[in-house]
Amino acid sequence: MPLADDLRRQFPSDFVWGVATSAFQIEGAAHEDGKGESIWDRFCRQPGAIADASNGDVACDHYHRLDSDLDLIAALGVDAYRFSVSWPRVQPLGHGAWNARGLDFYERLVDGLSARGVRPYLTLNHWDLPQALQETGGWAHRDTVHRFVDYARGLQRRLGDRVAAITTHNEPWVIAVLGHQSGSFAPGLKSRKTAAQVAHHLLLSHGLALRALRADGARAGLGIVLNLAHTEPATDTPADRAQARLDDARGRRWYTDPLFKGHYPQEVLDELGADAPAVEPGDMAVIATPMDYLGVNYYSRAVSSADGSFDAKRSGLALTEMGWEIYPRGLTELLLTLHREYTLPPVYITESGGAFKDPLTADGRVHDADRTEYLRTHIAAVAEALRQGVPMAGYMVWSLMDNFEWSSGYAKRFGIVHVDYATQQRTLKDSARWYREFLAARAAAAA
């Protein structure tokens, strides 16, 4: 493994280094200053939905700690901060009236970042759909596509000249499959047919939003963020290899083929049969509207076995607290696969990180050597992809700080900054110190 200095030198000086969060996971203030209810506010109240029965009412209280959190971000020395806007905070019903106090908050966030020399990377939809839109059918209803485009245009009018990037959706697979097929995420529905339609509407709204934002004179880069795994067969048998190809088509190509080639993978359409989404003429061309960048969230590989017998716990690879295998080589492989299959725009790793057991120790520090190693090896995996010609543009750590990890509640900690939820005190973990040093030396080399 190269030393930090060697690693750093493998990236061009304009490579963007950042940290990432999302609104629902950190903001809190769930019922303040005119914010509307989101599907996650509602979902958290379903008994058994969240492992520790928690919710996002307070979370990291970021809404009330904006200035000190911005100082924290700036102190890390990052180039960029990726955050999301809570749609119901700025437009409580998902259509019609805007909430001035909500918009003011994001304006202070964006201006506060710029004042500190950090570029804002804004995500429009990191899952917290206004509950009012769910009542009229949510993402399964084609009308929501148009509500999203209006929301995107409104946000761009207010902030578009001051952000580096606008991402339409974060991880449409999660919204579609976990939200509408397995039901483990909001809104908690369980229908394969609905999930397929939701995925189509998310992609369609992405393409329509790109076209509308450009027609309105977009200045920020426009793109989408996908959660992608590198899929491998458990064994070399033809059955496992066929399973891996199908799983890859379901989880990855269902999104990347329409975005870059304008069609869904035929094998998945065949498998869906009558559950395939309703696609109107012209939809696929809209979805394939060229993007300024692609965001990739990578956490682990996926292993396919035809009989479903693969068990990550017995794979021999170290696991994070989420039970996900630590497999940096998969990140290089994934990026090379994407590069081989498509003509890619600049690619950002928009999330990379791990949940580890990392308590505060008596010395007031968090010695999370495993997370530092995770980051170092994944950054090295990006360097290797870059070396092999993938147009890599940036890398963002998930996450800036410990936060609400959806149905896992607060027990799983992904932050490079520790949050004491009783006091809301933030403490830099050793991984944050490592990242800060890594970035500081890079800045020194460029000077």
Residue from 8, 11, 22, 428 that binds ligand IFM (CB under 6 A)? 22
Q: How far apart are CA 142 and CA 201, in angstroms?
A: 6
Category of 308 on φ-ψ map: left (φ > 0), alpha (ψ -120 to 50) or beta? left
Place of tokens 């359409």: 269
Q: How far is the CB of 414 from ligand IFM (least distance, A)?
A: 6
Q: How far is the CB of 167 from ligand IFM (least distance, A)?
A: 12
Q: Residues binding ligand IFM: what is the number (CB under 6 A)?
A: 9
232 is catalytic: no
171 is catalytic: yes
Of 304 and 350, the one with the shorter C-beta distance to ligand IFM is: 350
Contacts of 417 (CB under 8 A, 6+ apart): 72, 400, 401, 402, 426, 427, 428, 429, 432
Contact 265, 257 (CB under 8 A): yes
| 210-229 residues near ligand IFM, rule: CB under 6 A | 227
- State how far the alpha carbon of 14 is from the alpha carbons of 79, 304, 446, in Å: 10, 37, 10
Q: Which long-range contacts (CB under 8 A, 24 or more apart) does 306-310 make?
A: 306/237, 306/239, 306/240, 306/242, 306/243, 307/239, 309/234, 310/234
Of 208 and 294, the one with the shorter C-beta distance to ligand IFM is: 294
Q: How far is the CB of 169 from ligand IFM (least distance, A)?
A: 11
- State how far the alpha carbon of 48 is from the alpha carbons of 43, 51, 59, 174, 397, in Å: 10, 7, 19, 19, 30
| 102-131 residues near ligand IFM, rule: CB under 6 A | none
Coil, strand or helix at 366: coil
- State how far the alpha carbon of 219 is from the alpha carbons of 161, 213, 293, 295, 358, in Å: 6, 9, 14, 18, 41
Residue from 231, 297, 372, 407 that binds ligand IFM (CB under 6 A)? 297
| 374-403 residues near ligand IFM, rule: CB under 6 A | 398
Q: How far is the CB of 68 from ligand IFM (least distance, A)?
A: 22
Q: How far is the CB of 61 from ligand IFM (least distance, A)?
A: 18
The catalytic residue among 325, 351, 384, 405 is 351
Q: How far is the CB of 186 from ligand IFM (least distance, A)?
A: 12
Contacts of 316 (CB under 8 A, 6+ apart): none
Question: Does 171 engage in binding with ligand IFM (CB under 6 A)?
Answer: yes
Of 120 and 233, the one with the shorter C-beta distance to ligand IFM is: 120
x/- map, 351-370, ligand IFM, by CB under 6 A:
x-------------------
Q: How far apart are CA 36 and CA 30, in angstroms?
A: 8
The catalytic residue among 171, 325, 373, 384 is 171
Of 277 and 353, the one with the shorter C-beta distance to ligand IFM is: 353
Catalytic residues: 171, 351
Q: Would you tell me which residues interact with ligand IFM (CB under 6 A)? A: 22, 25, 171, 227, 297, 351, 398, 405, 414
